[in-house]
Amino acid sequence: MRVGVYPGSFDPVTNGHIDIISRAARIVDKLIVAVALNAGKNPLFQLAERTAMVTEDVKLLADKGASIEIMSFNGLLIDFADQVGASVIIRGLRAVSDFEYEFQMAAMNARLNPKAETAFLMASDRNHFISSRFVKEIGALGGDISHFVSPNVAAKLRARFSDAGE
Ligand code: PNS
């Protein structure tokens, strides 16, 4: 059975992530969406909140393909991939600007654990411009984020920013 890991910060999960999840689930037997603690990135949402948002969005996927499990992890991705028996690490690629970072990460991970292969899925044209960072910025400034995230995530973002404004 081919197990794939789709890791990320998911701060918060966007429609772009969900698109990659649904497509990745069609090319592996089991997909583990791995939500990284990544405390160094100073996330807007706690690990448990980010994991819950991914879980809620994945529940809404009509065509799941393979079985999808949502987990969180702290530590090295390749150690996590080993623990869950994953042979492939899936990442989404949007613009050329993603390439250098992704290339470096894939190469570092390959050196650390050559058994886990990184595979890239190109973001769909509808989603290639969506990033969690801009979604947060637009949300913080009161813009409409409904095209980029699910209604659940949009509500969580609005609540977070209205709390911050109080
Ligand atoms: O969504 P992101 O923030 O681009 O995801 C980055 C992530 C979580 C995949 C990356 O930071 C990661 O793998 N973190 C775990 C720690 C690790 O293994 N670091 C070494 C990477 S070469």
Over the chain (166 residues), what is each successive 10-residue block's mean pLDDT? 97 97 95 92 95 96 83 97 97 90 97 95 92 96 96 97 74
**Token pair 């969005």: residue:** 57
Listing from the earlier edge strand, what are the strands of the sheet with 3-8?
67-73, 30-36, 3-8, 88-93, 117-122
Distance CA 53, CA 45 (A): 10
164, containing H or E segment: helix 151-165
Residue 77 C-alpha to ligand 1 middle, in angstroms?
Answer: 7
Q: Establish whether residue 7 lines the binding site of ligand 1, counting it when its CB lies within 6 angstroms of any ligand atom.
A: yes
SS3 64: coil
Catalytic residues: 17, 41, 94, 132
Task: Identify the pLDDT of residue 97.
Answer: 82
> 33 CB less than 6 Å from ligand 1?
no
How many other CB atoms are there within 10 angstroms of residue 112's CB atom?
Answer: 14
User: Running DSSP on this structure, what letter comes out for residue 131?
Assistant: -
- Taking the centre of ligand 1 as the mean of its atom positions, its distance from the CA of residue 8, in whole angstroms, is 6
